[in-house]
Structures are given as structure tokens and as C-alpha cells.
């Protein structure tokens, strides 16, 4: 499932945290830095770009993504391919 975006942003929940952060590639080749600037991970940890529901997102990362994409509100949550869509 393609998101249609050319930029590479990855929503990831880190171990022992409730909130997910949005990461982009850092200056180092295998380094990814959260848009809020508070988290760094090595590797994107997979290809899926699953945006969680707004209450489970880091607020600073969510606002930064909205500004980058010039959105006036938070993006919708992405449903994993294994989940059933509501009818």
C-alpha cells in the first residue's frame, strides 16, 4: 500500500513508550531522527508507514508532520493491511 508521498517519514513506537514518534533520515546513513528531535533510532525498522490514531502520536511530531505537508489538521490513521476496515 503506497502512501503517495515521496518523502520518507516513519511513525514508530519505541519500546517502553506509549506514544509513537515520526522519524526521518538523519545526517548519518543509518540514523533516523524524530521530527520532535527527542529520539534517534538506527534503521527505519521496516517499510510500513503506519500512522497511529492521534491520541497515540507524539504531539510535537504530529505538528511537525502537518507543517511539512502543509496540512491544516492531523493526518488520518493508517490501517494495517491485516486489519479490517470499518464498514
In a domain, 19, yes or no: yes
Cα dihedral value 16, 69, 9, 80, nearest 10: 70
Domain that holds residue 31: 10-69
Q: Report how many domains make up the chain.
A: 1
Distance in angstroms (rounded) separating the CA atoms of residues 9 and 68: 11
Average of per-residue pLDDT values in the chain? 83
pLDDT exceeds 90 at position 9: no
pLDDT exceeds 70 at position 66: yes
Element (H, E) at 42: strand 40-42
Tens digits of per-residue pLDDT, 24-60? Answer: 988 877 899 999 999 999 876 666 668 999 999 999 9
In a domain, 63, yes or no: yes
In a domain, 37, yes or no: yes
In a domain, 74, yes or no: no
In a domain, 83, yes or no: no
pLDDT of amino acid 38: 94
Percent of the chain that is helix, strand, coil (3-state, to 5): 15, 20, 65
In a domain, 48, yes or no: yes
Going by C-beta distance under 8 Å and a sequence separation of 6 or more, which residues neighbour residue 51?
Answer: 11, 57, 75, 76, 77, 78
pLDDT of amino acid 3: 46
In a domain, 2, yes or no: no
Amino acid at each position: 500500500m503506497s502512501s503517495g508521498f515521496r518523502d520518507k517519514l516513519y511513525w514508530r513506537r519505541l519500546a517502553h513508550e506509549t506514544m509513537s514518534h515520526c522519524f526521518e533520515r538523519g545526517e548519518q546513513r543509518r540514523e533516523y531522527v524524530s521530527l520532535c528531535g527527542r529520539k534517534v533510532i538506527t534503521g527505519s525498522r521496516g517499510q510500513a508507514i503506519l500512522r497511529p490514531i492521534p491520541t497515540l502520536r507524539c504531539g510535537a511530531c504530529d505538528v511537525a508532520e502537518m507543517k511539512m505537508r502543509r496540512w491544516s489538521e492531523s493526518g488520518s490513521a493508517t490501517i494495517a493491511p491485516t486489519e479490517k476496515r470499518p464498514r
